[in-house]
A = this chain, B = another copy of it.
Amino acid sequence: MRFTSQTSSDAIVEQLFLLGDIPGVLWSPQGADGTRPLIAMGHGGGEHKKAPDVTDLAHRFVTECGFAVVAIDAPSHGDRPDHEEFTRIATEYEARLDAAEELAPLIADFQALVGRQIVPEWQRVLTAVQKLGHVGTGPIGYWGVSLGCVIGVPLTAAEPRIRAAVLGLGGAEVPCEAAARITVPVEFLMQWDDERVPRAQSLALFDAFASTEKTLHANPGKHGGVPAFETDSTLRFFERHLG
């Protein structure tokens, strides 16, 4: 793990890093020393590790909860080069969504790619970050909606270090056996008028989680319109389960 820059502002330290060829960012409280909860954040499709929604929420985790937060670029996103298969699937997905054509085969392809590459990448990142003195091996939470949910479901299912997850804006377009292996607390965000995810598929994904504590928060509006008050709820959720 190689740090490429470090800046600090408003009592938040931001460290950019490379783990092999994976570019990431780590936020932590200024002067932090010792073990603390870590939030892993997955950005949305077409965005990157420092997209405004990721950065804003990360800052609140650091300043209000004292957590560390790590985000990485997904393949074909941010500072990463084009990933041929990822780009093919994403391009075809958008075309089929626009044409209202069947998405299931593409999603199965994407789930395979996530399992083969993206989940192991995240696991290496978590291991490396938790070796740092100001992060340590505390409990981990995962936050990710949309693309961050598609990646987050198999990651949370595979990774016992993740103790709680906020997921959402995703659905069970194909049977999602990973969701049925998730047993940690989940807060699931759904947009009631989501133009990208049919209502029944959002509800089916929520239904599939095996967690004893799972809570569905549905709000009116389209895919990108999660209301601001859900951010407060997200912070309280992770404080309750990791704090």
Chain A contacts to B: CB under 8 angstroms: 190, 192, 203, 206-207, 211-220, 227, 229, 232-233, 236, 240
Contacts and interface: CB of A to CB of B under 8 A. Distances in A.
Copies in the complex: 2
A212 B220 contact: yes
B240 A236 contact: no
Given A232-B236, A233-B233, A236-B232, A192 B217 contact: no
A172 to B, nearest CB: 15
Determine which residue in A214, A215, A236, A240 has the highest number of CB atoms from chain B within 10 A of its CB, and name it.
A215
Contact of A219 (B190, B203, B215): B215
Nearest to A203: B203
Given A216-B218, A218-B218, A233-B233, 6 more contacts: A190-B216, A192-B207, A214-B220, A215-B217, A215-B218, A229-B240
Determine which residue in A218, A229, A233 has the highest number of CB atoms from chain B within 10 A of its CB, and name it.
A218
17 contacts: A190-B216, A203-B203, A211-B220, A213-B219, A213-B220, A213-B227, A214-B220, A215-B218, A215-B219, A215-B227, A216-B216, A216-B218, A216-B219, A217-B217, A218-B218, A232-B236, A233-B233
A145 to B, nearest CB: 16
